[in-house]
Amino acid sequence: MSEHPDRFRVGAALLAFLGVVGLYAFLQSPYFAITEIKVEGAATLEPESLIDRAQVRVGDNVLYLDLHAVAGRLVSHPRIQHASVVRRLPGTLILTVTEYEPVAVVELEDEQLGIAADGTIVPLTAGEEERLPLMGDVPEDKLPLALRTSALLPVTTRGEMSELGFDDEAGLWLVTRSGTRILIGDEAELERKVAIALELLAAGRWRLIDVRYPRSPVVRSQ
């Protein structure tokens, strides 16, 4: 009688062992091999370059990837602000990135670089500097104002600006590529000032648009 419980325990242990071995073999099987890698959110960066940076390949086991490490490799690119990595079983890996959007160009050591709205310096793609205003002589404490102003501009309008600058008399100013000078002033009612300036800019050709006092904007014709 005493042998039956021992046989039962041995049988149960054997079944458990076989179950573990079977599960391990299943998880290692080609069923979970990566068959597709998707890149979402890339605006200027080539998807292939991001896949290379992520160090993932078709054929890798999707279950054994360290997703946090893969995302970290993506974020190490100076143009990427955020990154996330998601598995979609059985064999799809999705890399989602958010790129920094430069809102102006800065010149550092004879090199033109982009600067994002939060002040992060980022590399520019070929020709991108031609669609962004140059950050001129702006004091460090006024830089957030200048960046926010440029960020408020639609992308197409931002491309029409040649320079951002600041002086004690006019405050923050912009100059379009056609020569129109736009006076913004300080940060008070900034969104309203920018909205009015955009309306006036679209309404005609001006030598000067002054929205420092948004309740009474001033324009001067060319």
- According to CATH, the topology of domain 31-99 is Ubiquitin-like (UB roll) (3.10.20)
Domain 102-221 has CATH 1.20.1250: no
Q: Where are the alpha helices (DSSP H) in the chain?
A: 3-27, 47-54, 67-75, 143-152, 155-158, 190-203
Amino acid 31: pLDDT: 76
Instruction: Indicate the domain borders of the chain.
Output: 31-99, 102-221
- Spatial neighbors of 209 by CB under 8 A, at least 6 apart, are 180, 181, 182, 183, 197, 200, 201, 217, 218, 219
Backbone φ and ψ for 117, nearest 5 degrees, come out as -60, -25
pLDDT of residue 32: 80
Q: In tens digits, what is the pLDDT along the chain, a chain of 222 residues?
A: 455 666 656 555 555 544 444 444 444 557 789 999 999 999 999 999 999 999 999 999 999 899 999 999 999 999 999 999 999 999 999 999 999 999 999 999 889 999 999 999 999 999 999 999 999 999 999 999 999 999 999 999 999 999 999 999 999 999 999 999 999 999 999 999 999 999 999 998 999 999 999 999 999 997
What is d(CA 58, CA 65) in angstroms, rounded to the nearest whole number? 12
Residue 10: strand, helix, or coil: helix
Q: Are 120 and 76 in contact (CB under 8 A)?
A: no
State the residue for tokens 């896949």: 51
pLDDT at 5: 65
